[in-house]
């Protein structure tokens, strides 16, 4: 049951998010978790906490409590959000993988996105799909460490502005499809093989890494699969390791190479479907921030220029350029003209565009006004030494710039502008950002770039593109900023057998909760499991844990030992279960 306080906390989180992020938030639907799901959660958490207490970063165990995560039951995301609020974070449920920039923007807002699905028993050690075990028990605990939490937020802030490529979008869709198929239950194995091949093909495709691909690599080798401490004896902090009972146990062994964490990680790709052959070790969390800031210096958000603008054009997604006057133009960029020095002298967007200053949309310059795109020349005027943006009202009059007067001027690039001056707009420092002209014609060589019939020409003023980044300057400018995935999620299929198994799991769960049951109850349940679900190993382990009967325990152990022999892939899990029970964990 969701409390009123939790709902109120959740509403406050939603209220401060831009509309384009809200579309990804879904209800957790806690009542849909079966007792079998709860058993999977409990086993993973018992095994992980027993093992990780000695090898995870010191923040881990305390962080579980601070995040409101219990070993015994799947957490309520609403409850987690209420508790995380105390350390300045929150949590929301999402439907599996969401677009990379959206994921990063949530992170920048100090919000954990948690895929509320849970892995199936056959994928209990590892799943490529994001699930609540990975998101909640992996990501949330280390956020309790202030240095790590700030790194995570800053990585989200920088990552949300990293420019992605069409290849990134294709890979995102392929990985999402594979993860959905693998966790769908009775999924067609041929479809899974096709999906795996699609991911492999894209991963092996030779193409230069986009900024988003580099951010994704950095996130993977730190937030997901990072180690921290001395190179010879590091501790685990990456969520992918903290939530994988398979990889967490073997990652610290000699079979996995340990490398010093450095800027090189941004160029190191990974395969999401396999255990990682090497891991990177940071000396501490503060060092992660140093590397992140060094990486940010290489991104278009800080370097701008024609390269950044070209990356936006190639992405075919909404992006923003900022001029040296502070004017920000957000839209889908479609064209750029350069001079011989490779300086931007003209740019164009196609479709809805918004203008902003200091991340706030300029009044009257939203996507409804600039619905058909936006374009403008840039640079210095010909034979004029003073940049147009620096002209005072006196300077403008000296060059015959009067309101209501016909203007005709030429840029050094050769772009010519003719039109009637309507008005202008300056920034807080007094620099001109926009000059509006009516009945305007803009030409370059023999090409007409703007015609009077297009309407008012809002000419951007500036001589350089100082920044280029993904997304909109003002988060509220584009309600549908990110494209929703073309791959819908698939509900797990159920049948009479899975329903019956969940019913048995619930009965065992009820017995544990009541602490009042007979050995006969357990014996009957074990008999049904052995007869009707002979390959289920988890519920017999729970019966073994509850039983005080030497005879029943012997029968259960014999059954599980036989199963481990017949199914070698289960032997490690069954052995782990025996150890947990023996230790009383």
User: Looking at the structure, do residues 327 and 289 belong to the same domain, yes or no?
Assistant: no
Count the residues in the chain: 585
Distance of CA 78 to the CA centre of its chain: 20
Neighbours of 513 (CB within 10 A): 9
CATH number, position 106: 1.10.800.10
Same domain flag for 460 and 508: no
Residue 476 lies in a domain: no
Q: Residue 222: CB partners within 8 Å, gap ≥ 6?
A: 151, 155, 238, 261, 265, 280, 282, 288
Would residue 428 count as lying in a domain? yes
- Per-residue model confidence (pLDDT) at position 230: 96
CB-CB contact of 502 with 35 (8 Å) = yes
Task: Classify residue 475: in a domain, yes or no.
Answer: no
Q: What is the pLDDT of residue 490?
A: 67
> Is 368 inside any structural domain?
yes
Burial class (CB in 10 A: 0-12, 13-18, 19+), 27: exposed
Three-state SS at 305: helix
- Is 215 in the same domain as 252? yes
CATH of the domain at 433: 2.30.30.100
Quote the domain boundaries for residue 459. Answer: 303-470
230, part of any domain: yes
Query: DSSP code of 128?
Result: S
Same domain, 562 and 453: no
Each residue of 498-531: pLDDT tens digit?
A: 899 999 999 999 999 998 889 999 999 999 999 9
Note the pLDDT of residue 559.
Answer: 97
Residue 96: predicted pLDDT: 85
- Give me the half-sphere count of Cα atoms (radius 13 Å) on the Cβ side of residue 257: 5
- Here the tokens at position 560 are 């599980």
Considering its fold, how many domains does the chain have in total?
Answer: 3
Can you give the pLDDT at residue 187? 59
State whether 187 and 77 are in the same domain. Answer: yes
Give yes or no: residues 241 and 150 share one domain: yes
* Res 401: pLDDT: 87
Do 414 and 268 lie in one domain? The reply is no
**Domain match, 338 and 210 both:** no
Domain C-terminal end among 236, 265, 294: 294
In the prediction, which pLDDT does 203 show?
A: 83
Indicate if 349 and 221 belong to the same structural domain. no
Spans of the chain below 50 pLDDT: 1-4, 6-7
> Does residue 220 fall inside a structural domain?
yes
CA 1 to chain centre: 28
The answer to whether 63 and 141 have CB atoms below 8 angstroms apart is yes
Q: Which of 269, 294, 319 is the C-terminal boundary of a domain?
A: 294
Residue 480 inside a domain? The answer is no
pTM for the predicted model, two decimal places: 0.88
Q: Distance between CA 378 and CA 451 in Å, rounded?
A: 18
Q: pLDDT of 441-486, one tens digit each?
A: 999 999 999 999 999 999 999 999 999 999 999 989 998 888 777 7
Query: Domain check: are 318 and 281 in the same one?
Result: no
Last residue of a domain, one of 294, 324, 348: 294
491 part of a folded domain: no
| Pair 202, 318 in one domain | no
**457 and 520 part of one domain:** no
What the block records as the tokens of 26 is 């879904």
């Amino acid at each position: 049951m969701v409390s009123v306080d939790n709902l109120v906390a959740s509403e406050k989180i939603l209220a401060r998010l831009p509309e384009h992020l809200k579309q990804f938030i879904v209800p957790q639907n806690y009542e849909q978790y079966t007792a079998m799901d709860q058993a999977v959660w409990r086993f993973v958490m018992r095994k992980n906490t027993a093992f990780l207490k000695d090898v995870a970063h010191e923040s881990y165990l305390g962080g579980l409590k601070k995040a409101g995560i219990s070993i015994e039951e799947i957490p309520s995301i609403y409850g987690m959000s209420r508790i995380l609020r105390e350390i300045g974070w929150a949590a929301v449920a999402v439907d599996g993988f969401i677009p990379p920039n959206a994921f990063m923007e949530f992170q920048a807002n100090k919000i954990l996105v948690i895929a509320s699905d849970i892995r199936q028993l056959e994928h209990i050690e590892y799943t490529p799909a994001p699930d609540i075990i990975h998101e909640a028990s992996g990501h949330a605990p280390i956020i309790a460490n202030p240095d790590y939490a700030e790194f995570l937020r800053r990585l989200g802030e920088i990552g949300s502005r990293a420019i992605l490529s069409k290849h990134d979008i294709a890979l995102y869709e392929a990985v999402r499809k594979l993860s959905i198929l693998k966790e769908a239950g009775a999924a067609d194995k041929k479809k899974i093989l096709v999906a795996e091949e699609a991911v492999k093909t894209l991963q092996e495709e030779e193409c230069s890494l986009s900024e988003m691909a580099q951010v994704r690599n950095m996130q993977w080798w730190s937030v997901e699969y990072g180690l921290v401490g001395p190179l010879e004896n590091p501790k685990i902090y990456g969520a992918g390791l903290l939530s994988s009972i398979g990889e967490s146990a073997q990652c610290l062994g000699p079979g996995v190479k340990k490398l010093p964490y450095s800027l090189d990680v941004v160029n190191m790709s990974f395969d999401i479907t396999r255990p990682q052959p090497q891991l990177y070790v940071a000396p501490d969390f503060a060092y992660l921030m140093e590397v992140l800031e060094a990486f940010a210096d290489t991104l278009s958000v800080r370097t701008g220029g024609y390269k950044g603008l070209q990356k936006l054009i190639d992405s075919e997604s909404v992006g923003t350029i900022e001029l040296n006057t502070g004017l920000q133009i957000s839209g889908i960029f479609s064209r750029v003209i350069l001079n011989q020095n490779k300086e931007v002298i003209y740019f164009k967007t196609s479709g809805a565009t918004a203008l902003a200053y200091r991340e706030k949309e300029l009044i009257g310059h939203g996507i409804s006004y600039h619905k058909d795109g936006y374009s403008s020349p840039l640079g210095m005027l010909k034979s004029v030494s003073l940049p147009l943006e620096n002209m005072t009202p006196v300077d403008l009059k000296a060059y015959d710039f009067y309101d209501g007067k016909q203007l005709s001027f030429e840029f050094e690039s050769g772009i010519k502008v003719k039109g009637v001056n309507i008005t202008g707009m300056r920034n807080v420092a007094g620099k001109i950002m926009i000059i509006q002209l009516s009945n305007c014609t803009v030409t370059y060589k023999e090409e007409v770039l703007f015609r009077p019939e297009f309407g008012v020409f809002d000419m951007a003023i500036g001589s350089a593109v100082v920044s280029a980044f993904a997304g909109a300057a003002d988060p509220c400018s584009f309600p549908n900023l990110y494209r929703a995935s073309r791959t819908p999620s698939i509900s797990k299929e159920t049948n009479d057998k899975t329903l019956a198994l969940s019913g048995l799991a619930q009965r065992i769960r009820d017995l544990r909760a009541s602490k009042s049951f007979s050995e006969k109850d357990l014996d009957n349940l074990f008999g049904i499991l052995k007869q009707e679900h002979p390959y289920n190993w988890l519920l017999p382990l729970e019966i073994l844990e509850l039983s005080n009967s030497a005879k029943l325990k012997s029968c259960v152990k014999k059954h599980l030992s036989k199963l481990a022999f017949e199914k070698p892939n289960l032997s490690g899990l069954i052995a782990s279960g025996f150890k947990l029970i023996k230790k009383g964990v």
